[in-house]
Amino acid sequence: MNKSPPGVRGSWLLKVLRVPLFWKIVVANGLLLGILGVLALLLAPDPDTVGLWFPVGWTGVILVLVAVNGFLVHLALRPLRQMEVTAREVEAGNPSARVPSSPLADRELHRLTEVLNRMLDSIERVQHRHAHLSAQMARAEEAERSRLAGELFNDTAQILAAALLHLQLASRHLDPGDGKPPPPSQPGPRSGLESARNDVLSALAGIQRIARSLRPPELDELGPLAALEIQARRLSNETGIPVQVSGSIPPSALSSEAGLVLYRVLQEGVTNALLHGTPSSIRIHLQTDSASVRATLEDDGRGFDTQEIQADPEGRPGLQHMQDRASHVGGRLEVESRPGNGTRLILELPRKTESSPAHLRTSDP
């Protein structure tokens, strides 16, 4: 944030100080030439002896000098403008932009250009290392998710299923002994077994739910699009908030890693909308063109201020993680939101192959 000097905020002096450097130099030199012109006129011979040609000619000379001065200042300041253009390109997302070497730059500007380019080189190297480490962390996270989900599905869930079967068999063959039912105040063994059976059923359902959230089996068996549809139907049933998926993508349009990014980013986007946005509906639309797959996620929830997120990206680390996931596979994620007007996420991922006539069908849950 730019801060104004003390005592000049909102004053006419602040407006003057904000004038571009080019005009400051040209106007200052023009004033000096004008003063010299006035002094020349005052010190000139008697106008009756020299006529009108002297002031008119001197004024023309001053105007020519001002024009030449403006042209020279324009050339001298070109390296600074190139620095500004480069900084804007880097800010817009082009980390490889560099300030070109200018033959018009003096030694100070040349050194400044070299320092700026070295700084941009260092920033790009740090960004590459960060992207590489983030990609490794994402792959490790996904591998751990897959491992934990497999253990829950194949080991813990099977043990609980076997325990449930034993409880059912025990309850079926239970003999009360004397043939008399237990007193109402004292629960019988059959009631205890039934409670244990319900507890095991609840634990089994919870483990399956956790395993699906870690790594749904349909993600590997049917692909990210089908997994997304299944999750949308499940969330709609659990929350009562409709989560609609529409559109289509060609088969094999995305690499396996990009398909996983598509699923994870949209999964987290829907989860964030349900947790923080209190929407009445969520819509996901998929479309493709010759170069990319585009997914748009919209909700009509409370929204948030994107400028605050840009000023403090650590305030929403989940959003930054989603953007990192997209950039790892050459894609990008845009966020549009305003308080009270909902949120829109636009995810674009590069296509792996040319479009195919066959399409994966999607349907609204």
Burial class (CB in 10 A: 0-12, 13-18, 19+), 183: exposed
Mean pLDDT score across all residues of the chain: 76
Give me the residue spans of the domains in the chain. 12-123, 223-365
229, 245 in Cβ contact below 8 A?
Answer: yes
With pLDDT > 70 as the criterion, what percentage of the chain qualifies? 70
Q: At what angle do helices 107-151 and 189-214 cross, to 10 degrees?
A: 150
Query: What pLDDT does 8 receive?
Result: 47
Q: What is the pLDDT of residues 195-226, one digit of tens each?
A: 777 777 777 777 777 777 777 777 778 888 88
**Overall average pLDDT of the 270-279 stretch:** 88
pTM of the model: 0.55
279, 273 in Cβ contact below 8 A?
Answer: yes
Query: What pLDDT does 244 receive?
Result: 93
C-alpha 173/C-alpha 252 separation (Å) is 54
Domain at 223-365, CATH class: alpha beta
Q: What is the pLDDT of residues 275-318, one digit of tens each?
A: 888 899 999 999 998 889 999 999 998 888 877 766 665 556 77
Q: What is the pLDDT of residues 307-360, one digit of tens each?
A: 776 666 555 677 888 888 888 888 999 999 888 888 999 999 999 855 444 444
Query: What pLDDT does 359 receive?
Result: 40
Model confidence at 5: pLDDT above 60: no
**Cα angle value 239/205/188 (rounded, 5°):** 120
Query: What pLDDT does 114 receive?
Result: 87
